[in-house]
Amino acid sequence: MIELSYSEIAAAMAGTLIVAAGETGETLVSGEAQTDSREVQPGQLFFARRGEGTDGHLFAGKAVRAGAALLIVERELGAADLGFADAASPVSQIVVADTTAALGALATLVVHRLRERGALTIVGITGSNGKTTTKNLVAAMAETLGPTVASEKSFNNEVGGPITMLRTTAETETLVAEMGASATGEIARLTAMAQPHIGVVLSVGLAHAGEFGGIEATFRAKSEMVKSLDASGVAVLNRDDPRVVQMAELTPARVLWFGQHPEADVRATDIESSAAGTTFTIHHGDETRAVRFHVLGEHHVMNALAAAAIGLTLGLSLDAVVDVLEAATLAAPGRMQVLGGRDGITIINDAYNASPDSMSAAIRTLAQIKKPAGRTVAVLGAMTELGSLTIEEHLRIGLQVVRLGIGQLVVVGRDARHLHISAINEGSWDGESAFFETQDEAFAYLTETLRADDTVLVKSSNSAGLQALGDRLGEAYV
């Protein structure tokens, strides 16, 4: 974070400053922000958020003992509240009405100051699928140009977004911010904190459709990204997604298209998938390059194209962009992560998250990379946050598994049972679909029945927890 005084921070979040002994309103702090006391390091700010299951105020004392320089709280905490015997708190505090809102207010102050200096370029990335993969690729490209801050993990909401923004310093040249949403208005709030110079929309799909209230509501929410751009900005849009194409009419920014469509400014042809990754030819203007992209799954080519469009906008040459793409080996942990290897058995752990679009794409990849002597095995769990579409979409994926000729379907968890029912109803399977309520049961079945050269896909929404099963299978077949 840039260096700020306690008084400046309190003013930004409309809070009341209570200074500890030996400090004043002019005391300076530049540490990062944390909402988890376990992550606090000396000199950082601790925001005591109230969650559904806990209250950050209960862990403020732990944050102080870890070295927190300043507490942002919703009620003044005395020494006893913090677990100290002294009469007064050993750390200064700012009392605010809402610590989550205060976190966003501070992020807004810091990013706007850096933006006004003209040295910081902000990239905002949203879409129903592919945000984290694209963010990681863009960050790798930006780092070749200078100091870069990018969202960690999937820090893309009202908490993770500001925490990422508050990692910027006076030396930061590029901020790559993943901006997710589960309701209308959330992306607008994030873009108000960090007004992007480059705004990216990857897709409009069914991820979180249940929370949004349908695909049209998802479209409106994702459109908030391009609406936040001014005439000097660049909107990087998916030319292959009809709903994203409509967003070109909603932004004053210059539009840069990516995709396989002939009209895309950055496009791919000659796409071929294998167990080693994907090869394709990238085109930009009159330039053409062959790319060996080691990230598994043809659907990740679109993420690579989006990242390439951003990298070119940042000033990289096409050769430099290709160098970064070819150096990437993993989209992110739990995303098409190749594990195992013993007896030729390959485990693809793609259970970090799932939507109908990403589930369908992963199953197509599984069918494409089948080894001649082995089977394809799909280990699938529930896709969440689909609302009224839940049953319909699980039934559709079950049909796809059968129609693509996947050799074995293993469905895990009661919420995913419609996948199993759909596969059975589709046709003449005799035991090719198995259902288990627990991961332990599925693991036991798989370790008893997997054969040499089998290729296994493990896929579910994060809340279904199958990433742990994928990791467990990977360890079993090392």
36 and 145 inside one domain: no
pLDDT, tens digit (0-9, with 9 covering 90-100), for 115-137: 988 889 999 999 988 898 999 99
Amino acid at 277: G
159 and 197 inside one domain: yes
Tell whether residue 131 is among the known ligand binding residues: yes
Buried b (16+ CB within 10 A) or exposed e, 345-375: bbbbbbbbbbbbbbbbbbbbbbbbbbeeebb
Tell whether residue 130 is among the known ligand binding residues: yes
132 and 265 inside one domain: yes
Tell whether residue 25 is among the known ligand binding residues: no
pLDDT, tens digit (0-9, with 9 covering 90-100), for 286-345: 999 999 999 988 889 999 999 999 999 999 999 999 999 999 987 567 788 999 999 999
356 and 302 inside one domain: no
CA separation for the pair 163, 155 (Å, rounded): 8
pLDDT, tens digit (0-9, with 9 covering 90-100), for 2-59: 999 999 999 999 999 999 999 999 999 999 999 999 999 999 999 999 877 789 999 9
- Phi/psi for 290 (5° steps) reads -85, 140
Mean pLDDT of 250-265: 98
Query: Looking at per-residue confidence, does 411 or 463 come out higher?
Result: 411
323 and 343 inside one domain: no
What's the pLDDT score for residue 186? Answer: 92
pLDDT surpassing 80 at residue 361: yes
388 and 441 inside one domain: yes
Query: Looking at per-residue confidence, does 302 or 155 come out higher?
Result: 302
pLDDT, tens digit (0-9, with 9 covering 90-100), for 135-152: 999 999 999 999 999 988
Tell whether residue 151 is among the known ligand binding residues: no
The CATH number of residue 398's host domain is 3.90.190.20
In a domain, 332, yes or no: no
- C-alpha distances (whole Å) from 194 to each of 98, 129, 175, 310, 426 are 20, 21, 9, 17, 49
Tell whether residue 129 is among the known ligand binding residues: yes
As a whole-number percent, the residues of the chain with pLDDT over 90 amount to: 80
How do strand 148-150 and strand 174-178 relate by DSSP bridges?
A: parallel
Work out how many domains the chain is built from and give that number.
3
Mean pLDDT of 87-114: 95
What's the pLDDT score for residue 40? Answer: 97
Most confident of 201-205, 244-248, 388-392: 244-248
Least confident of 57-71, 146-160, 384-398: 146-160
192 and 299 inside one domain: yes
What is the dihedral angle through the alpha carbons of 250, 232, 143, 9, rounded to the nearest 10 degrees? -90
pLDDT surpassing 70 at residue 428: no
Tell whether residue 390 is among the known ligand binding residues: no
9 and 158 inside one domain: no
Quickly list DSSP for 193-243.
Answer: HS--SEEEE----STTHHHHTSHHHHHHHHHHHHHT--TTSEEEEETT-HH
418 and 468 inside one domain: yes
pLDDT, tens digit (0-9, with 9 covering 90-100), for 55-68: 999 999 999 999 99
Asked whether 323 and 292 are in contact (CB, 8 A), the reply is no
Tell whether residue 381 is among the known ligand binding residues: no
pLDDT, tens digit (0-9, with 9 covering 90-100), for 170-184: 999 999 999 987 778
User: Is the whole model's pTM more than 0.75, yes or no?
Assistant: yes
96 and 187 inside one domain: no
221 and 322 inside one domain: yes
Asked whether 178 and 107 are in contact (CB, 8 A), the reply is no
What range defines the domain where residue 282 resides? 119-327
